[in-house]
Amino acid sequence: MRQHITVMERRQNMTVLHVATLNRPIRQDLGYGPIETVLYNIDKGLHTLGHRSIVACSGDSRVVGEHLTTIETSFREYCSTDTQVKQETMRRHMVMSLQRAKKGDIDIIHMHDADMVEFMFEGLCHTPIPIVMTLHVRAEDHEAFTRWSASLRSSSSVYFVPISEYQRTQHQGLVNAGQVIHHGIDVEDYPFKHDPNTHDYLFSIGRITEDKGQDKAIEVARKTGSRLIIAGNVQNKATDREFFKQLEPSLDLVMNAGTPSFPQDYYEHVMKPILNSDKQIIYIGEVDSAQKKLWYQHAKATVFPIQWGEPFGLVLIESMAYGTPVLALDKGSVPEIIVHGKTGFVVDSIDQMAEAVKAIPLIDPGDCRQHVKDNFSIASMAGKYADLYQEILDKRTLCLEISQ
């Protein structure tokens, strides 16, 4: 039992077990994988701070800390059929993660999926290793989670982390919901644009769905005569497929620009022919990490006309890290992330967004990048998680000492 150890000594020796999601691998080069990207960044940040970070995940993952392989490959998509094989795979992942947690050297378990948290909590009820869960979704998106969390007491060893002030209000009443920890990225992985006017197009990237508002982005482009590049995957959901079907007549060109045919000269062989065409509204499919960096870099702005209260948009900080301003509707966490008039424009309507297109030249790309460095870096995010872990461990040690 750890007692009477200084805070600095405990922090140097913290061991964190991350139980990963399985939809996609945990790695740096994902085109789409918001939760997986955040998990990768937390692991990298903690490792850089000197903590021991262990990630229980699929074999096709590439993590910075220790890699605990639980299954051979991830599901590779966010919405796959819930087959018996998938259920057995998920159970194997959870059982192996639980077995690793019980070896006695884990200080904190960090999780990102509500159903997995319940499994781990029940499996550890006699070995109360604290569990931290980062909240990624709206409360109403997980009925089982809401029902289970309602039965928890404040003395529970499960702690929840909202990713925005907006999201914290959505989860009001949730026990052990601590301070907000915004997502962070490694800004050095996002090269700054030194020529902000390389190409005159708006960029939209994200899952193709009504919530993301690609139809509204098209409306802005039509109103302003701007070229629009739309990137993103169509998930295996009936509603998303139907939305894309309705979107197609508004697209002037549909192509797959995410193929790795020209990995060494993607700009020359893929981007330039698209941008030199006479097409205005262009859908390029899902692009990988390296490819989307180029699309961000050469855009005059990223448009973010979301139609729902998004808890946190990684797109916003990725775009600003390159120096590319963002035009976004005032919903969800948007006003927490964008500084209106300095790193982009937060507006109330599509008409206002169209007007904001004219004001893009007023934004200094350097201000965009500096804002991300100051507020949304991996170091900042990992440091806040490490502080939270330490606070939890200190609280647990104090309770143990009082009970003796």
HEC per residue, 138-155 = CHHHCHHHHHHHCCCCCC
127-157 as b/e, with b when 16 or more CB fall inside 10 Å? eebbbbbbbbbebeebeebeebbeeeeeebb
Q: What pLDDT score does 87 carry?
A: 85
Helix axes 84-101, 114-123, angle to 10 degrees: 50
At 12, the pLDDT band (50, 70, 90 cuts) reads: low
Q: What pLDDT score does 262 carry?
A: 57
- Mean pLDDT (whole number) for 206-224: 96
Strands (E), 264-400: 281-283, 301-304, 326-329, 344-347
Q: Is the pLDDT of residue 292 over 70?
A: yes
Q: Is the pLDDT of residue 166 over 50?
A: yes
* From 21-25, 53-57, 397-401, the region with the lowest mean pLDDT: 397-401
Q: What pLDDT score does 9 carry?
A: 45
Tell me the chain's radius of gyration from C-alpha atoms. Answer: 22
- Cα–Cα dist 85/369, whole Å: 45
Q: What pLDDT score does 33 carry?
A: 81
pLDDT-above-70 percentage for the chain: 86
Q: What pLDDT score does 152 carry?
A: 65
Q: What pLDDT score does 153 carry?
A: 62
At 148, the pLDDT band (50, 70, 90 cuts) reads: low
Q: What pLDDT score does 254 carry?
A: 94
At 385, the pLDDT band (50, 70, 90 cuts) reads: very high
- Is residue 34 within 8 A of residue 136, CB to CB? The reply is yes
* From 20-24, 264-268, 270-274, 278-282, the region with the lowest mean pLDDT: 264-268
Q: What pLDDT score does 3 carry?
A: 41
Q: What pLDDT score does 114 carry?
A: 79
Q: Is the pLDDT of residue 1 over 60?
A: no
| pLDDT tens track for 294-316 | 999 999 999 999 999 999 999 99
**CA-based nearest residue to 393, from 129, 98, 113, 126:** 129
Give the chain's count of helices (H) and strands (E). 16, 13
- Cα–Cα dist 391/10, whole Å: 11
Q: Which amino acid is at 162?
A: P
Q: What pLDDT score does 119 carry?
A: 78
At 200, the pLDDT band (50, 70, 90 cuts) reads: confident
Q: What pLDDT score does 8 carry?
A: 42
Domains of the chain: 7-186+377-403 (3.40.50.2000), 187-375 (3.40.50.2000)
Q: What pLDDT score does 191 carry?
A: 86
pLDDT-above-90 percentage for the chain: 63
Q: Which carries the bigger pLDDT value, residue 105 or residue 260?
A: 105
- Is residue 168 within 8 A of residue 180, CB to CB? The reply is yes
H helical segments located in 102-235: 114-123, 143-149, 165-170, 214-224
